[in-house]
Amino acid sequence: AKRQGRNRYAYFAPSMHSGLLEKLDLADELRGAVERQDLLVYYQPFVDLSDGTLVGAEALVRWPHPTKGFVPPDRFIPLAEESGLILPLGYAVLDTACRQAAEWAALRPGLKISVNLSPRQVQDPAVVLYVQQTLARSGLPPHLLTLEITESLLREDAEVAQHRLGELKALGVQLAVDDFGTGYSSLSRLHDFPIDILKIPKPFVDGVAEGAERSALARAILDLAAALGLEVVAEGIEHPEQAHELHRLGCPVGQGFHFSRPVAAPDFGALLTAAAPA
């Protein structure tokens, strides 16, 4: 047993070491990719659950790595947050998404765009001016832009966040809470934050068509949103039964692979013209 233990140590130590080096390498490469503007923005449709109409899109960053293929955001967003790279990265995504959305809004008036805002960006005092200037440069009407924030910002002690979200809200944009109900937040303080939209997370959507118990959490968010006068978007819809059941429960808008995966801008443009309402 002892020898086995030693072998295990000998086996794991080098791999942990190379894991760390790989992470440092990746952070370095990410810096280069941000500087060279190699990152892409993909768009995933928001759909009206009553009739399937395209009503908007969420901008999702993509990193086409020269040898590794597309690196998933779940791997490099945390690295970007640790290193501070999330600021230039996030602003590049915002800029691209707003210019793109302004073009699409000309084809389809009222089409909305959602952009993810990392907690680090909300802490950055420059974020307000940046969003304002990006909107002005792009010509996108502010009410068509939604900023998706994480639930952890809605904490009891989050005075900076509360102040900043108020400033952003004053620009005329909408604020959505991503993955609502999966993190720590203070429900009693939901009133104190200028939130417009709650996003029902995929894990709550997964069981929505499988009976009262498995749909309880999605229903709780829909009830809460109705009571507070908030809009709702359900994400991670993969099956038609889920879309149907969410609509039946009163959820107006959905997003998920059932409707479309995130796609490159030209492909989203094609969806938009193909599905143009009469």
* Strand, helix or coil for residue 223: helix
One residue of 96, 116, 138, 146 binding ligand C2E per CB under 6 A: 116
Q: To 10 degrees, what angle do helices 86-107 and 127-138 make?
A: 30
Q: Which stretch binds ligand C2E (CB under 6 A): 45-53, 184-192, 251-259, 268-276?
A: 251-259
Binding-site partner at residue 134 among ligand C2E, Ca ion, none, CB < 5 to 8 Å by type: none
Q: How far is CA 141 from CA 52, 112, 145, 152, in A?
A: 24, 10, 7, 28
Q: Which amino acid is at 83?
A: S
How many residues touch ligand C2E (CB under 6 A)? 22
Nearer to ligand C2E, 73 or 252 (CB): 73
Which runs of consecutive H residues, i.e. helices, occur in 109-264?
119-123, 127-138, 159-169, 202-206, 216-228, 240-248
One residue of 116, 150, 174, 185 binding Ca ion per CB under 5 A: 116
Strand ranges for 66-178 from DSSP E:
69-71, 112-116, 145-150, 174-178
- Smallest Cα–Cα separation from 175: which of 153, 150, 149, 144? 149
Contact mark string toward ligand C2E, 213..232, x via CB under 6 A: --------------------
Nearer to Ca ion, 108 or 202 (CB): 202
Residues 69-98 that bind ligand C2E (CB under 6 A): 72-74, 77, 90, 93
Q: Which stretch binds Ca ion (CB under 5 A): 83-91, 166-174, 177-185, 242-250?
A: 177-185
